[in-house]
Amino acid sequence: MMCGTTGVIDHQVQCSADYVAAMSERLAHRGPDDAGTFADGGAVGFAHHRLSILDLTSVGHQPMSCDSGRWTLVFNGEIYNCRELRHELRQAGVDFSSDSDTEVLLKAYQVWREDCVDKICGMYAFAVWDRDEHTLFLACDRLGKKPLLYYWDGTTFAFASELKAFLTLPACERRLNPDAVDAYLSFGYIPAPLSIFRYIVKLLPGHSMTVRNGALTVRRYWFPERVAAMRSGSRTERIEQFRELFAKGSADQLLLSGQYGAALHDYLLAIVQAPCMPKVYLKALRCLLFVIAPTWRARLFGQSAA
């Protein structure tokens, strides 16, 4: 489940549209359903490749701009609580023209600005350009499920969903990051904020960034310890609270416009989460079982759940 986003800001060279077009070609495989571009003069450009999840019609096209044209959004992911947010925004007098979570996210930013990240729940990486303030705002979801990388050399700022997109930028040096190489050889992966290249960085999970007047400001907006501090009640009460949250979380992730199913790749997931799904939607649940487990007991659990 993925889309591809990219964007460039370069007020000196004034060829961001050309840069974005080249970067966008490297991300075409991420979104087979639709593609679009946006340009604000020659200094700012966005591109998006869409894999349709909510509202499969063309009204979910990206990049998406508000009615006034001031704010333009590119977004990869899914907002799980978009129904609740849409209701809250409507109560505040906001109108909607689609069922897409992209429009909900855009209008949430219009109303709450940078604080919208405290309201939304989901997996996401998005960027919003403010034409009037000449400001770019970016955010990554709380656990970093959706990737967001960026490049900054003091003149050109670029972001993308994948590393390969940056290699089309003329100014981007393919110089390896020794710390990233060491981490990969030690752990088998490269932890954020590092990437294999020195000048390309991953935005950390639960962080947002503002780009304004040639300056980058990074802010952490989510703290797991604050969630832990909210626990209260007896053990039995906390177990019941977890069950309610788990059921709601499963329901929130089923707001799809097409068919849905369960990929039972883990036996605990198979016996716990999959049974919650038909209770939410009275549709036929399609299960794909590919349990990767070393024991017969794990495979048996997965087969029973399927």
Residue 3 is among the residues annotated as catalytic for this protein = yes
The sheet that has 200-202: what strands, in order across it?
34-40, 44-50, 4-9, 157-160, 149-152, 200-202
What are the DSSP E strand ranges found in 56-165? 64-65, 71-79, 122-130, 135-140, 149-152, 157-160
> Residue 289: is it exposed, middle or buried by C-beta count within 10 angstroms (0-12/13-18/19+)?
middle
| Neighbouring residues of 228: CB distance < 8 A, sequence distance ≥ 6 | none
End-to-end CA distance of the chain: 22
Rounded to an integer, what distance in angstroms lies between the CA atom of residue 226 and that of residue 244?
20
Structure tokens at 24: 């966008």
Question: Which of these is catalytic: 3, 82, 140, 172?
Answer: 3
Residue with tokens 């999970």: 205
Residues 6 or more apart from 91 whose CB is under 8 A from it?
Answer: none
Task: Tell me the catalytic residues.
Answer: 3
